[in-house]
Structure 1
Amino acid sequence: MKKFHDVKPRVIKRKNSLDDKPIAHDGSIKEEHGFWHGTPKRKKKVVKDYSRIIKFFVYSLVFISFVLILVGRAYTVSAELEVNAYKAKEHLQDSLQYLHENNYNKAISEAQSAKAYLIDTKINIQSWGQDSSYLKMISTKSKYVEIEKMIDATNVLLNSSETLDDIINTYSETFSSANVVSKEQINLSLNLDKLEKSLTSVKKELNILHGALGVMGSEGIIFSADEANGLQKTIKNVETSLTSVESNILPVVKWFSGYESEKRIMIIFQNNSEIRGSGGFIGSYAIAHFVNNVLKNIDFQTNIYKLDKEAQGKIDITAPEEYALLAGGKLYLRDSNYAIDGPESFEAVRKIYQMESGQAVDGVIAIDTTPIIKLLEIVGPIFLDEYKMEVRSDNFLKDIQYEVERDYFLRDGGKEQNEPKKILADMMPIFINKTFSALKDGEKKQAIVDTISRSVLEKHILLNSSDAQTQEKINVLNYGANVRPNGDYDYLYSHSTNIGGGKSSLNINEKVTDNIFIEDFGKVKHSLNIIRDHNGTGEWPDHDNINLLRYLLPADAEIIDFDAVSGDFYPHMNKKYNKKNLYKEEIEAQKKKISFWINTSPGNSSSVVIGHYSSKGLVESGGKIYYYLLIQKQPGTPNYEYNLDITTSDKFKIKNLGTKESLSIKLSLNSDKLVKVELEER
């Protein structure tokens, strides 16, 4: 029989918010020890194993770190690739531009810089494994493949530039070792053969580069389509230039150098501080003798006046009306380059030289003072021991002129010998030798090449040939100062002739503003405002600028206004001549010519306004309407300023002009300019 204290009350087990402890029948909290249970039993301690969890955590951490490092490195390499690729692209673009400008040294330097960036990027990528596919975590496009294409393109460009530079170096080595003073022969034949082969090679290389850029542009990874198209256009321009060298320049060089037959070439030195038809007053000249691509010698003459004087009474060529006061109305060699058209001027030079000297010449090379001064800046001064004179770029014009016109005749025997221009004959061989020697210096070589190229472009060096086919090539190149055909284009040509105005021409700054009003097809109105500022001091050899200005316009141009605003308009700046007719109209070189005197004293300005209608200029092409204006630059002149202000009638509007009513164009006339403006019909 159970005793009282053996009877245990029934325990109801249910969950309670009080720590889920069991509750007794009477509602009190049942303790797990004490009165009911006595001393509690000691629980067995359980030890858990966390090592597997720790290992999993460590491995995960290592994996995540590796992924983060890889992705971070991918971003870093991708960023480096991006920066280097775009730097390489800029150098590649600059290299092509320098190639287009015939600056092969800089083209090579820029191509080498581009290649260095690309190779550096390639090595950086390869250091993380030849397979660069991890870069796809950043981009699905493979810039690594594009880098390879750019390296190939850069190598092609580098090869082309180096080939062309090698041509320049070959010519430089030939001329740098020559001695004009000792009359050594200069052989050009090997250079010409090498040039022909090299041009063919370069054109093939550029064609490959053109295709590669097209592919890269279509992919749009580094080069956009527009960028690639722009570079392809530059390549086409370079190819066009090289084709011109092949088809025009090379045949001209061969002809002048006596490739097929012996040639006697007259080199005339024109003083453009006294501007004339072909670029300047003919002060002195030389005769170069070429046989089979070999320059045999250059004979520098000393006195053009002496030759003219000996010819008096032997030849009878009537001078143009404007030269009537000179030499008794007869035309001699020193004034023979009068015509506006270069070939016509030089034909007269060759013809009169033969009549005066009894010897024929096959062609003419004309050089004015501008390239001589520029070359003196590059090669440095020349010391002429006989004259105790250092000739520099800053004193060449004045000091040489002083010796020719004053100092020479003050020396013993000067008047008897009458060879005042002997100083030029003495100086030129030394100057040419020093220029040739400077070709050994890389920087000077490029500066000399640039100066000569620019002088040809800006019409300070001109060529003329007695051979019609060769002359046609010279005209195509625009190397002979020919009056260019304008076809359907509008046309302007301002042409000055200094007659009795001393050495004042380079002190004149001419500004032309042309207000153009496009009324309709076949009807374009011009209002030409011509201002001539004389910036000289009047100190010898400066003088009043006595100038005959001849303007060429389209052949059917109609003069509607002539307003002599300011200045002196008397012929020869002499009031004894009647100025009743301020201007006259004639046809010259198949153009309408309006000629008039406009004379300006030192420190003063002269201006005139000419109004005319032109039927030329508007051209329909491919469903579009364009206005074209061809402006020609006179040989020997500085880079005069032209300002065009173009407006239209209600029939037209200028495309992409927005709300503006007129289009203003400012030009520095350093060469012939073709202006093209697209129009729309309203």
Structure 2
Amino acid sequence: MKRFYDVVPKKKSAKRAQPQDVQGENFFWGKETEIAQEKSPSFFESKRFKTAFHRSALVLILLVSLLAFSYAKAVLAQNEIEKLNSNVKDELEAILNSVERGDLKGAIVSSEQLKWSVSEIKLKLQSLGQDSGYFSLIAPSDSKFANIERMYDAVNLTMEAMAEIQNISGNSLSLETEGNKDYLFDGSRVADTLNLNLEKAGSKLEKASKLLSSIKPEAIGQKLEDIENARNSLEKMRSNLEELRNFSKTGLGWLFEKSSERKILIIFQNNAELRGGSGGSLGSFGVAKISDGKITDIDFGKNIYKLDHEFEVKENIKPPEDLSWVVSDSSWTLKDSGWAVDGLEAMKKIEWFYEKESGEEVDGVFIVDTTAVVNLMDITGSIELKVYDKVITKENFRSEIEQEVHKDYFTSANNLVENEPKKIISEMMPIFLNKLMGSLGDRDKIFNLISILQRNMAEKEILIYMENDDFQRYLSRKNLSGEVDQNKSSYIYINNSNIDGLKSSLSIDESIKIKSEITSDGIVINKLNLRREHKGINLWPDGTNRNLVRMLLPNGANITNFEMVSGDFEQYRDDGYKDEKPYWITEEAGRSELRFWMTTEPGEISEVNIEYTADVLQSNGDEVLLPLIFQKQPGANADKVEYELTFPENWTPTNIANFDSQSRTIKFSFILDKDKRFLIKFSKPHL
């Protein structure tokens, strides 16, 4: 059989027609070629074919190599981007969680980290250049990239919102005191700036939320639940900012209203001597004067004791019955006016007494205890008092002030006549407050200051009351006035008052253990153990802690047992027990109140076991609810709390993951550094 290339073509004088390209040149070789009449090499053996084949093979190899390289590059970039995506998700969650906790500084730090991760992702995508098209080999869905783009647009908008919040600091909060001695702080400008920046931040968060709602989770490998949680967090963050913006317009707008005058009473109290709902023994005070939206002066006047003495000469106010046997004075005055367990009521009474004794009306009360002052000295640093030859630091603040007020001051005969032992506080506080205000123009300090203020307000080292209704509603809603919670719940609030117990309150470690049992008929039986350990030494200004306990319980609580384990429970100043019992029951602030003395010596432990029943369960459709509320006393150390609940057979907790189904118990513990609220849900038993 003849092979294709053995066939000899017939001789022709004419040229053989060749396939032409669009330019009239040979399709294979590029030029016209005359076929030789004699026997010639086959098409596949020709030199030109071999050259063309080599060229084509080389091009094909290059194309395949380029494709493989681009594919590998795309896969590598995708892996790196996925890692960064994970970082972005974690950092975005950290921002939202920080904002939800009120940790603005933490949110800003997470925002800076988020910016870096997003920038890295952009660089990775840009580095691919034309190769980004090869992502279609990995994820061919066109919608994936549209959804990724929406996600990063939402992230960028969130970062821009955080930047707007960050911009509130700096120039907007600068005091601008250089060359201007007419005022200390321009509150009106701060309120306006706060309102503007919060409005911008809220608008960006609203857009980010809408973008998240348009994302298809399956297109970017996310769960619908995760996207919804992120969107809900953004909405909550936006809602909080909107609430803060409304506060800046109404609350701060009222306080720093232009063409108006305001006066705020500032009380400095010593929580080493706990007392009532205000949180401590009232000491020095000042009055902040606000004119035309600016703080123009903070006047630190007489000490409270001197003001009280001048008032008692003119008028005698009989103390309420529950206070008359606690204080030795026959007249009720400003120093004991914060006695009510409810912080708001205590501050209203403080304001009333101040106005009565001074003849000066004020528009609100701002209470700061020594713990808050010490914490804020992280911002101010040390304070030099040249007249006293002292440098006050956060480490020696309490000891130096106590030494001067109670001992050193009275070594001078002139001071005995003057009788202003707390003058050192009045002279220190203007320097302290000026340093605090000066930090508002320092970006490095502003968020530390905000964080410290937020923590101390949440932990009730700072309390605020304002006469403006809108302002006060906001403060009450944010739990910034120390009010007693009125919601039906399994409730506990222990209020301690140090009566002639020197400065021993901060030396006490208090712990609470509660074992509760829900009976089949829906009554909750509680066994409470209260333990107070005196960690101090019997050295002035510390000493025996003579303490009156006022324990607020659920309405209608029935005391079934009161067992004194250790310590002194006899009432102070009178031998024996009041009404021949170590405790007595009354009502205060809308709650049942159990009162008893519990005196503890340095190095000793006082302990009591109390049993009581309460009707606190609530029904919600097919569920039974047990709300738990633990409130912290203003100014007090944080209690250690252990809680154990036993529930009936056939009851199943529906919102608690960790419980013992065999013993039917739920256990948890926490530090009561601020008010804590819990809700335990049970499926309703089928009878």
TM-score, normalised relative to structure 1: 0.86
Structure 2 residue identity aligned to 1:673:
K
1:304 to partner: Cα distance:
1.3
Alignment of 1:384-463 (within 5 A): 384-463=385-464
- Aligned-partner Cα distance in 1 for 2:469–2:208: 38
1:338 to partner: Cα distance:
0.4
- Aligned-partner Cα distance in 2 for 1:674–1:220: 39
Kept in 2: contact 1:183–1:298 (CA 8 A)? no
1:260 to partner: Cα distance:
7.3
5+ residue gaps, structure 2: 1-40
Indicate the residue corresponding to 1:215 in structure 2.
Answer: 214
- Aligned-partner Cα distance in 1 for 2:490–2:404: 46
- Once the two structures are superposed, residues 523-572 of structure 1 have per-residue CA deviations (whole angstroms, 9 ceiling, x without a partner) of 11111111111111121111111111101112211111111111111112
Kept in 2: contact 1:516–1:646 (CA 8 A)? yes
- Aligned-partner Cα distance in 2 for 1:654–1:515: 17
Alignment of 1:37-436 (within 5 A): 49=45, 55=54, 61-102=61-102, 104=104, 107-130=107-130, 132-141=132-141, 144-174=145-175, 184-216=183-215, 218-219=217-218, 221=220, 223-248=222-247, 250-257=249-256, 261-277=260-276, 278-320=278-320, 321-324=322-325, 326-436=327-437
Q: Equivalent residue of 1:568, what SS? A: coil
Indicate the residue corresponding to 2:547 in structure 1.
Answer: 547
- Once the two structures are superposed, residues 171-191 of structure 1 have per-residue CA deviations (whole angstroms, 9 ceiling, x without a partner) of 531377699xx7734322222
Alignment of 1:468-479 (within 5 A): 468=469, 470-479=471-480
Kept in 2: contact 1:176–1:436 (CA 8 A)? no
Kept in 1: contact 2:532–2:605 (CA 8 A)? yes
- Aligned-partner Cα distance in 1 for 2:258–2:593: 40
Give the number of equivalent residue pairs.
Answer: 633
- Once the two structures are superposed, residues 601-647 of structure 1 have per-residue CA deviations (whole angstroms, 9 ceiling, x without a partner) of 1111111111111111x223353332111121111112211111011
- Aligned-partner Cα distance in 2 for 1:88–1:643: 37
Q: Equivalent residue of 1:174, what SS? A: coil
- Once the two structures are superposed, residues 424-477 of structure 1 have per-residue CA deviations (whole angstroms, 9 ceiling, x without a partner) of 111001111122223343332221111011111111111113445543332222
Q: Find the structure with the greater CA-based Rg.
A: 1
Distance 1:654 1:567, change over 3 A: same
- Aligned-partner Cα distance in 1 for 2:104–2:177: 19
Kept in 1: contact 2:70–2:131 (CA 8 A)? no
Q: Equivalent residue of 2:201, what SS? A: helix
Indicate the residue corresponding to 1:494 in structure 2.
Answer: 494
Distance 1:259 1:581, change over 3 A: farther
Distance 1:119 1:245, change over 3 A: closer
Distance 1:251 1:572, change over 3 A: farther
Kept in 1: contact 2:74–2:132 (CA 8 A)? no
- Aligned-partner Cα distance in 2 for 1:175–1:629: 48
Distance 1:527 1:82, change over 3 A: same
1:262 to partner: Cα distance:
2.3
Residues 1:678 and 2:677 are matched in the alignment:
no
Structure 1 residue identity aligned to 2:479:
N
Aligned equivalent of 1:659, options 624, 641, 661: 661
Q: Equivalent residue of 2:453, what SS? A: helix
Q: Equivalent residue of 1:394, what SS? A: coil
1:228 to partner: Cα distance:
2.3
Q: Equivalent residue of 1:485, what SS? A: coil
Q: Equivalent residue of 1:312, what SS? A: helix
Distance 1:676 1:102, change over 3 A: closer
Distance 1:49 1:78, change over 3 A: same
Structure 2 residue identity aligned to 1:209:
A
5+ residue gaps, structure 1: 1-45
Deviates more, 1:470-479 or 1:427-436: 470-479
Deviates more, 1:271-280 or 1:565-574: 565-574
Kept in 1: contact 2:105–2:451 (CA 8 A)? no
Structure 2 residue identity aligned to 1:588:
E
Q: Report the RMSD for the aligned CA atoms in angstroms.
A: 2.8
Deviates more, 1:495-504 or 1:409-418: 409-418
Residues 1:603 and 2:612 are matched in the alignment:
no
Distance 1:229 1:177, change over 3 A: farther
Structure 1 residue identity aligned to 2:377:
L
Indicate the residue corresponding to 2:649 in structure 1.
Answer: 650
TM-score, normalised relative to structure 2: 0.86
1:522 to partner: Cα distance:
4.8
Distance 1:127 1:399, change over 3 A: closer
Q: Equivalent residue of 1:348, what SS? A: helix
Deviates more, 1:451-460 or 1:56-65: 56-65
- Aligned-partner Cα distance in 2 for 1:171–1:524: 54
Indicate the residue corresponding to 1:4 in structure 2.
Answer: none
1:382 to partner: Cα distance:
0.8
1:407 to partner: Cα distance:
0.3
1:406 to partner: Cα distance:
0.4
Kept in 2: contact 1:146–1:222 (CA 8 A)? no
Kept in 2: contact 1:217–1:228 (CA 8 A)? no
Kept in 2: contact 1:103–1:446 (CA 8 A)? no
Q: Equivalent residue of 2:174, what SS? A: helix
1:420 to partner: Cα distance:
0.8
- Aligned-partner Cα distance in 1 for 2:239–2:583: 43
Indicate the residue corresponding to 2:485 in structure 1.
Answer: 484
- Aligned-partner Cα distance in 1 for 2:219–2:630: 40
Structure 2 residue identity aligned to 1:609:
N
Q: Equivalent residue of 1:572, what SS? A: coil
- Aligned-partner Cα distance in 2 for 1:484–1:242: 25
1:217 to partner: Cα distance:
6.1
Q: Equivalent residue of 1:132, what SS? A: helix
Kept in 1: contact 2:273–2:503 (CA 8 A)? yes
Distance 1:69 1:111, change over 3 A: same
Deviates more, 1:465-474 or 1:633-642: 465-474
Kept in 2: contact 1:500–1:572 (CA 8 A)? no
Kept in 2: contact 1:108–1:158 (CA 8 A)? no
- Once the two structures are superposed, residues 229-256 of structure 1 have per-residue CA deviations (whole angstroms, 9 ceiling, x without a partner) of 3322322332232233234465233333
Identity in percent: 30
Distance 1:408 1:250, change over 3 A: farther
1:579 to partner: Cα distance:
7.4
- Aligned-partner Cα distance in 1 for 2:558–2:98: 45
Structure 2 residue identity aligned to 1:635:
P
Distance 1:112 1:464, change over 3 A: closer
Q: Equivalent residue of 2:519, what SS? A: strand
- Aligned-partner Cα distance in 1 for 2:345–2:306: 24
1:68 to partner: Cα distance:
2.5
